[in-house]
Structure 1
Amino acid sequence: MKTYAPSLIVVSLAMALPVIADENSKKEIEKIVVKGELLPTSAKNAANSIDVINKAALEKSGADHIQDVLQQVGNINYSSGSSRARFFQIRGIGERSQFVDPVNPSVGVAIDRIDYSEIANAATLFDIDQVEVFKGPQGTSVGANAMAGFINLASTETGSGQEGKVRVSMGNYGFQQLAAAYGGDINNKAEYRVSVNKVDGDGYIENTYLGRKDTNGIDELSVRAMLDVEMSQEWTMKAVLHKFDINNGYDSFSLDLNRTTLSDEPGFDRQDTTAIALTNKYQGFSFADAELFISHSNSDLDYGFDEDWAYGQYNDDWSFTGIHPDGYSSTDYYFRKRTADQLDLRLTSKDKDWVVGLYNQQKNADLTRQYTWNDSDFLSDYDVANIALYGEKRFALSDSINITAGLRVENYQGDYADSNGTVSSTDDTMWGGHFTASKQYDDAFLAYFRVSQGFKAGGVNGEALSKLNDANLQQFYFELREHASFKPETLTNVELGLKYNSNDNKLNAVATLFYSTRDDMQIKQWLTDNSVVPVFVGYLSNVPTGSNYGVETSVNYKLTKSIKVFAGLSLLETEIDNIDRLEEDPVTGEDVSVNISGREQAHAPKYQFNLGADWQLTDNIIANVSFTGKDEFYYSYSHDETADSVVLANASLTYKGDVIDVTLWGRNLTDEEYGVRGFYFGNDPRDGWVAKNYEQFGEPRVIGIRLDYLF
């Protein structure tokens, strides 16, 4: 097991920033409240590893989706394989894709408390007030969806105290945005806010066969509305409505390993979600306040791609005319209907030092897969019911020492059935929680120690079971049968955090050391066969253990009255134990089992950093320059191909007027080419199906101008 040099740790511990924010006074810093915690917690005093990105920091980079800002957060990565990133990895842990089988996420996503795990195409950022990234297990507050961490998005609050806004943005690659947000008071007991956001863009791919530049384009409509009503002196109610209508293209992978594609049937990545939530708070009890949160969401999720990434057709005699005589033509389409209902009932003490709650979620996902090589549509149905009891208690041992303990016990039941006759049920009872001790040495310095455990449920590999009798996969029969299902995984994390906020607010810093162990670690593996036509089968399996450890640091320093500098460095070491995979022997051509124990985990770069400055040029003009970078990382467990290391340069220049704000922004200004998803197999008949590292690339140089009219 590798270790860090002591000098590197010392340097890292000297750097930190608990809040990625553009606050200008100590008073403003103290206003930042972490909304994803069970009990009221300020970001400054949170004894947990949390990065909070406020609205100013979100907007200065021209970001319109969560994937555009995660580069600035240490030890968080994402995978694409879709039009938008919707699977995230925190400290090297998290899913990377979803095809046939249901996914139990390691990193949860919520927008206004509504669960958007697995469907984060909806994580658009217009009128989002705050993004919170929780690192490490959130086993008490969230449970099964947050073994590795949790991403929480909160919309701008209601009422006339918030600014109204109309936004018009334009950029290269056909980027256009038209958006508006407004709120106000209906009367002295009710207030509201509504935001509407429309984003369009061509994407960063040119389809040379079709002569189009929009086959990987963006077409997104986001609507969010909130209503707060004071029903009585003791009873308040909040209603939330979401509507996301996303009609994006998906045409990202190129046989020529670049940004030009040859697909004759480019794919799609669509999401149509309607969600509603109600929160009732009652303060009439003498011993505690009661809160009931309920939500319902309904989503149609359509995802598909041109599997051959090329053009061509079959003739009457089944010969092929197209990119090559040995080519093939097929498409793979997935149509899901997802419904989810949440109920969260909690009691919180009047002193806000304890909370107990009951949580229940019912979720259903119906899949219809239309695949060229299937005789008929593949259908599956997955019902999930999880119920949990949780609680958290805070103790003050002295004026400066506080203890917090939390516990969650959760039962997770899943029922799976498909058109191949596979019927399987899982029933897992898991527990998580944390014990945290913190000491406030003075107004400026806080230290904490935290031990936490998170969990995620097991499940069934329906795709593997469905392929048991596939004539093209007979050599994998025993491998597939062995991995019909997989067990729950648990993550235990030990963490030491240091936070410093100077009294004059010139220096804000945090450093976090963590060590995590994974038991019954779930990993995604792939079996491929190109003997007749390309066949790909994915499945989840368990390996005994894995370890993830490292350090996260950053610093925010007000160098002069007009210049603020910030920097961050995160280091990560990961390891897997006792993992085998099938590889083709280069001599015999047979599939043999190869052990890759000791290798790094997938999508887990060893380092990430950010460095930059904000410069108040005049009373009205602000300049920002930043650099973000990360190390190379493995794409998968089924092969050893990697994404290259990368450094991205970003900048913005903002004019702030009385009613008009104008921002010029640019990301990846040096036009670096970097991968965000990779597969290794043969798919090009022109070179005899030689296996290659096919990559989906992140955004190239993008520049734009944004105009906001404020009222």
Structure 2
Amino acid sequence: MKLSIVALATLSVLATPFSVVAAKEKNSNSDIETIEVKGELIKTPANKIANSLQVLTTEALEKSGASHLESVLQQLGNVNFASGASRARFIQVRGIGERSQFVDPINPSVGMSIDGIDYSGIGTAAGLFDVEQVEVFKGPQGTNAGANAMAGFVNILSTQPSSNANNKLRVEVGNYGLFNVGLAAGTNISKKAAARVAISKLSADGYIENTHLNRDDTNNIDELSMRALVDIAATKDLDLQLVLHHFDIDNGYDAFSLDQNRTTLSDEPGRDTQKTTAFGLNAKFTGYESVNIGVATSVSNSDMEYGYDEDWAYVGIHPDEYSSTDYYLRDRSADQFDIRVSDKQNQWVGGLYIQQRDVDLTRQYTWLSEDFASQYEQDNIALYGEHRYTLAKDITLSAGVRIENNKGEYTDSNAVSNDTSETMIGGHLTATKQASKSTVHYVRLSRGFKSGGVNGEALARVGEPGLERFNQDLLNSGSFEPEILNNIELGTRYYNRKQGLKASSVLFYSSRHDMQVKQWFTNDKEVVNSNEQPIFVGYISNAPSGSNYGLESNLQWQATGDFEVLAGFSWLSSQVDNMYRLETDPITWEDVRVSIDGREQAHAPSYQYQLGFNWQIADRIKWHATLNGRDGYFYSFSHDQEADKVNLVNTSITYQGDFFDVTLWARNLTDQDYGVRGFYFGNDPRDGYTAKTWEQLGEPRVIGLRVDVLF
């Protein structure tokens, strides 16, 4: 495998000079799609963008039968995810990103937007039915997205009313009880207005069998998604777009097994739900002689419930058992306002961004005498701008800056109160050289940031029975500082429509300062020695520094009129500096301070790859297949347990009719078991609560048949 990976890396990095010759010899008339990137301040064709970016179009998303963003993330270089829920809502880019959220509010390192509305940290809503494209930016996006995009940014765009996309009725069935039905339709309402609406209902039993309850749907999927866009030409100079979202997600959560397989013993399975309603209004005025004015505003409200059977078992499993559940009910509201001014020549833009976000939490936990409640209010205001300068006929310089102030107010039912206020600066300086009609080189210096905050749970639990020995550490962990990420990239893009070739490669180095790291206090030795209930106190600390550097490369080559090659390789080296953690010695049961200086960061696999093809094997039949793989990686900073390496085969065959398409698809064709979230502690009374690795497994072999009726 190592030899093949090295070969693939060499092919991707050297794709430009090699494939130009090959494509020229075999296919001089082929054509590939031109994509416009919309997630930057100044819209740019993907082949000319001076940023590390991968774009997934509708066709690419649907070939693997993907109904949710989590199903396609493994196709992307240096992108990983953590589940610990019904969906993988936490994304890591280049090894940076959150892996969970429990009591305390978090500030995401990887932002997410759907049709311009902020969904950072609540990615359960990232369904893919009737999505036009997904843009995944890697590295700091401090100018265009700000504090929610220190490590990267995911921009999801629905199919636009003005597009030429077909109306379609979808019916899809598959194993594990998969049933999916959807309707997407667009129409002209009048001469000046057009609309497109997409509605889908997805259900599945999940990949778990609960043998105690004799059920196979305790980890089920039940998701309703509705998105609507309305374009209005209000006047000759004023265009409006209305955006409406409604998501009703009622998923189960019963994923961790005491027997470390796909069978569980829970007597009180958990839930993972989200109900979101969001409304947006975008306006563009072009009536002035020299500038355009754009205004984007949105409001959204999300009610979420996340909880689980903490003991993963039933009452009566063992004399030393415990039984508890833990539920987190969040009410999240967010309002956004963004006004920007740009020139007619698409050379500069400047704007003002305001966001207010409130999150109310109620925790219902067996071991609490009464429910815990907290309120976190955030106010962000930012000034931003970008300018592109033409230094020579073939050299462009782009400079962007964002100055953002973040204010937070935290209060909770334990009488903890904390206010924060931080002003942070991000941006980029990018030089681009058009080396030839087909080749662009660039160097990019960028800076991203993420605000600090308060560890309310740590402060509230000072002096709690079972945690007395941690009192000083809990006090010292009451808050954490902002994190800064400085980054440099050297990139090359090659794009030739005639020769049917796209290729890119990026080298990057990122330096993390006051690196935010999730850690835990636990009373594990008391649980074993005294049969007490387990106590886990999560908190965020600042490690002095860390570094992340590596390579990202991709190739898309139309080798012949009927056969297209896809290849990608990424390599990542990461480490954390001057960091310690508390551990309990398994022999002496003493708390010891352990250095992990120089260790790899969590959820940061050292390599990932993709190799695949699209083959038009007959006039109406197309075959798609990919092999995706990644190296193992550490699950956490609080322990050294690792996920295994994994190689996944995905494939699909599509019949394209005049009025319908039929697709037979399969993911994880070889049925590999692999982890998507991992913990290390004792939780099984049958073996004396011996500490071990617990993994939530990713999807097994899944097969589906999809029919799209086009009209």
Normalised to the residue count of structure 2, the TM-score between the two structures is 0.96
1:534 aligns with 2:538: no
Q: In the alignment, what sits opposite 1:582?
A: 582
Q: In the alignment, what sits opposite 2:326?
A: 332
Q: Distance in 1 between matches of 2:397 and 2:620?
A: 45
Q: Distance in 2 between matches of 1:300 and 1:226?
A: 23
1:209 aligns with 2:212: yes
TM superposition shift of 1:558: 2.0
Q: In the alignment, what sits opposite 2:100?
A: 97
1:379-399 C-alpha deviation (Å, 9 max, x unpaired): 000000000000000011122
Q: Distance in 2 between matches of 1:601 and 1:28?
A: 38
1:108-507 to structure 2, matched below 5 A, reads 108-159=111-162, 161-312=164-315, 322-507=316-501
TM superposition shift of 1:645: 0.4
> CA contact under 8 A between 2:212 and 2:264: conserved in structure 1?
yes
> CA contact under 8 A between 2:32 and 2:497: conserved in structure 1?
no
Q: In structure 2, do the counterparts of structure 1 residues 564 and 278 end up closer, same or farther at CA, with 3 Å as the change threshold?
A: same
> CA contact under 8 A between 2:274 and 2:304: conserved in structure 1?
yes
SS at match of 1:29: coil
SS at match of 2:47: helix
1:627 aligns with 2:627: yes
TM superposition shift of 1:674: 0.3
Provide the alpha-carbon RMSD of the alignment.
Answer: 1.6
1:610-689 to structure 2, matched below 5 A, reads 610-689=610-689
1:539-554 to structure 2, matched below 5 A, reads 539-554=539-554
Q: In structure 2, do the counterparts of structure 1 residues 537 and 25 end up closer, same or farther at CA, with 3 Å as the change threshold?
A: farther
Q: In structure 2, do the counterparts of structure 1 residues 564 and 381 end up closer, same or farther at CA, with 3 Å as the change threshold?
A: same
> CA contact under 8 A between 2:278 and 2:301: conserved in structure 1?
yes
TM superposition shift of 1:183: 0.5
**Unmatched tracts of structure 1, length 5 or more:** 18-23, 313-321
1:110-139 C-alpha deviation (Å, 9 max, x unpaired): 000100011100000000000000000000
Q: Distance in 1 between matches of 2:410 and 2:574?
A: 33
Q: Distance in 1 between matches of 2:496 and 2:358?
A: 49
1:29 aligns with 2:23: no
TM superposition shift of 1:699: 0.2
> CA contact under 8 A between 1:159 and 1:185: conserved in structure 2?
no
Q: Distance in 1 between matches of 2:317 and 2:299?
A: 47
> CA contact under 8 A between 2:9 and 2:568: conserved in structure 1?
no
Q: Distance in 2 between matches of 1:709 and 1:432?
A: 47
**Unmatched tracts of structure 2, length 5 or more:** 18-27, 527-531
Q: Distance in 2 between matches of 1:349 and 1:699?
A: 48
TM superposition shift of 1:162: 2.7
**Which one of the candidate residues 66, 74, 77 is aligned to 1:74?**
77
> CA contact under 8 A between 1:16 and 1:511: conserved in structure 2?
no
SS at match of 2:690: coil
Q: Counterpart of 1:704 in structure 2: which amino acid?
A: G
SS at match of 1:397: strand
TM superposition shift of 1:161: 3.3
SS at match of 2:602: coil
TM superposition shift of 1:287: 2.1
Q: Distance in 2 between matches of 1:153 and 1:428?
A: 29
Q: Distance in 2 between matches of 1:307 and 1:16?
A: 53
TM superposition shift of 1:28: 5.3
Q: Counterpart of 2:373 in structure 1: which amino acid?
A: L
Q: Counterpart of 1:307 in structure 2: which amino acid?
A: E
Q: In structure 2, do the counterparts of structure 1 residues 257 and 160 end up closer, same or farther at CA, with 3 Å as the change threshold?
A: closer
- Which stretches of structure 1, 4 residues or longer, exceed 4 Å deviation after superposition? 5-12, 24-28
TM superposition shift of 1:503: 4.9
Q: Distance in 1 between matches of 2:629 and 2:65?
A: 18
TM superposition shift of 1:565: 1.1
Q: Distance in 2 between matches of 1:102 and 1:160?
A: 39
SS at match of 1:145: helix
Q: Distance in 2 between matches of 1:271 and 1:341?
A: 18
> CA contact under 8 A between 1:601 and 1:634: conserved in structure 2?
yes
TM superposition shift of 1:15: 4.0
Q: Counterpart of 2:325 in structure 1: which amino acid?
A: T
SS at match of 1:58: helix
SS at match of 1:144: helix
Q: In the alignment, what sits opposite 2:557?
A: 557
Q: Counterpart of 1:351 in structure 2: which amino acid?
A: Q
1:44-80 C-alpha deviation (Å, 9 max, x unpaired): 1001111000000000100000000111110000000
> CA contact under 8 A between 1:406 and 1:435: conserved in structure 2?
yes
Q: Distance in 2 between matches of 1:339 and 1:503?
A: 45
Q: Counterpart of 1:398 in structure 2: which amino acid?
A: A
Q: Distance in 2 between matches of 1:10 and 1:622?
A: 28
Higher mean C-alpha deviation, range 506-515 or range 333-342 = 506-515
Q: Distance in 2 between matches of 1:644 and 1:124?
A: 28
Q: Counterpart of 1:692 in structure 2: which amino acid?
A: K
1:616-645 C-alpha deviation (Å, 9 max, x unpaired): 011100001110000000000000000000
1:453-506 C-alpha deviation (Å, 9 max, x unpaired): 000000000111111121111111111111100000000000000111235233
Q: Counterpart of 2:167 in structure 1: which amino acid?
A: G
Task: Give aligned pairs, total.
Answer: 691
Higher mean C-alpha deviation, range 280-289 or range 240-249 = 280-289
Q: In structure 2, do the counterparts of structure 1 residues 16 and 249 end up closer, same or farther at CA, with 3 Å as the change threshold?
A: farther
Q: Counterpart of 1:511 in structure 2: which amino acid?
A: S
Q: Distance in 2 between matches of 1:238 and 1:16?
A: 40
1:289-348 C-alpha deviation (Å, 9 max, x unpaired): 001100000000100000000000xxxxxxxxx100000100000100000000000001
> CA contact under 8 A between 2:265 and 2:314: conserved in structure 1?
yes
> CA contact under 8 A between 1:438 and 1:446: conserved in structure 2?
yes
Q: Distance in 1 between matches of 2:134 and 2:332?
A: 25
SS at match of 1:617: strand
Q: Distance in 2 between matches of 1:8 and 1:193?
A: 41
Higher mean C-alpha deviation, range 505-514 or range 268-277 = 505-514
Q: Distance in 2 between matches of 1:25 and 1:401?
A: 30
SS at match of 2:61: helix
> CA contact under 8 A between 2:115 and 2:158: conserved in structure 1?
yes
Q: Counterpart of 1:397 in structure 2: which amino acid?
A: L
